[in-house]
Copies of this chain bind each other. A is one copy, B any other.
Amino acid sequence: MSDDSRDHCSTNTHQNVLAELREAIAQAVRDVKDKTPLAQSFTNFVTINLVANAQLAAGGTAAMSFLPDDVIETAKIAGANYINVGTLLPFYKDALPSIAQRLNYLGKPWVLDPVAAGIGKTRTAILQSFKAAPPTVIRANASEVIALANMWGLLDADNASRPAGVESVDEVDAAAQPAKLLAQFLAASAPKHKAAVAVSGKIDLVTDGEHTYRLPGGSAMMAKITGAGCSLGGVTATYLAVAEPLIATLAASLLYDRAAEVAEAESKGPGSFQVAFLDALWNVTAEQVAGSDIVVQ
């Protein structure tokens, strides 16, 4: 923990908030290991295997579906769902808006990864449609968060004009306000009005629309394997099957950061990093996850 972060957490209020959060995070990690909850994913073809393996390594159960009748029937027995718009096929244009509506009608929580938000007419149409049937949690990089908030008309002229480029520390900060606005928008229509947005980057950021949490650590090697972000979205859905949005999102991001640090220390390139990362998702404890540095604002 850096001196800066100590200062940030030094008020009594924040310390109380943090103590409660840590207990709830530890409980979520334990619950997933004990209850092996099912989270369903509609995700891209590049990293679908890693999404499933990461969910299993975290302790959950995985089911992957694409056809609307499959998705909806499986959603009925799943604790949470995950939609990732990475690799689109033609039938998704009608299927995904309809699936999002049905999930919300059924009261099923879901995580959205708006991969490549802003690229392609079909993706834009799909993401636009989610404004009327919003997810419970969004997990994305900074550019995608800004693009989505902009697409949904949540930004004022000043924020909307920020350029969206390659992800970086600055960009996570650039996405802080758009992320907060998105979380508030999601919460307005979410069950119990609880929602969260996670922005992945050098320092991950999580917000429920009220407080913003920065999560230092992790590993730069995460950007050298494909699917680090996608599978984090999937594991967030796994935690969302047993915990409320903010806790699930924090738990998943913190588990990822701790596992990435272990994997970096044990590997000598991206091949062995991915292997060690999956092992670490399995071996990192609830106490390690819940004891992480968290900078609250």
Where the two chains meet, the residues of A that have a C-beta atom closer than 8 Å to any C-beta of B are 44-50, 52-53, 56-57, 62-67, 69-70, 73-74, 86-91, 116, 119-123, 223-227, 267-272, 274-283
- Sampled A-B contacts (6; CB under 8 Å): A70-B120, A89-B91, A269-B282, A270-B282, A272-B275, A274-B275
A46 touches B46 (CB 8 A): no
Other-chain contact of A119, B46, B73, B123 (Cβ < 8 Å): B73
Q: Tell me the complex Cα distance, A123–B89, Å.
A: 19
Give chain B residues whose Cβ lies under 8 Å from the Cβ of A267.
Answer: 279
What residue in chain B is nearest A275 (Cβ atoms)? B271
How far is B227's CA from A199's CA once the two chains are assembled, in angstroms? 30
A122 B57 Cβ-Cβ under 8 A: no
- Other 18 A-B pairs with CB < 8 A, given A57-B269, A65-B120, A67-B90: A46-B48, A46-B64, A49-B50, A53-B271, A57-B271, A65-B87, A65-B88, A69-B120, A69-B121, A70-B119, A70-B120, A73-B119, A74-B116, A269-B280, A269-B281, A270-B281, A271-B277, A271-B279
Docked Cα-Cα span, A164 to B136, in Å, equals 31
Give Cα A227–Cα B269 distance, bound, in whole angstroms.
Answer: 19
If the complex has contacts A49-B49, A271-B274, A272-B275, are A56 and B226 also in contact, measured as CB distance less than 8 A? yes
Q: In the docked arrangement, what's the CA distance between A48 and B226, Å? A: 10
Contact: A122 with B272, CB < 8 Å?
A: no
Please tell me if the beta carbons of B269 and A278 are within 8 angstroms of each other in the complex. yes
Q: Are A66 and B89 touching (Cβ within 8 A)?
A: yes
B49 A227 Cβ-Cβ under 8 A = yes
Return the 3 tightest CB-CB contacts between A and B, nearest first.
A269-B279, A271-B278, A52-B226
Q: A87-B65, A272-B275 given as contacts; is B52 within 8 A of A46 (CB)? A: yes
List, in ascending order, chain B residues with CB within 8 A of A52's CB. Answer: 46-47, 226
User: Once bound together, how far apart are the Cα atoms of A120 and B70, in whole Å?
Assistant: 5
For A124, the closest partner residue in chain B by CB is: B69
| CB within 8 Å for A279 and B272 given contacts A70-B120, A88-B70 | yes
Contact residues in B for A70 (Cβ distance below 8 Å): 88, 116, 119-120, 122-123
- Residues of chain B with a CB closer than 8 A to A269's CB: 57, 278-283
CB pair A224 B271 closer than 8 Å: no
Which residue on chain B has the smallest CB distance to residue A123? B70
- Min CB distance A18 to B, Å, is 29
Instruction: Find chain B residues with CB under 8 A from A276 CB.
Output: 271-272
Highest count of chain B CB atoms <10 Å: which of A88, A120, A122, A283 = A120
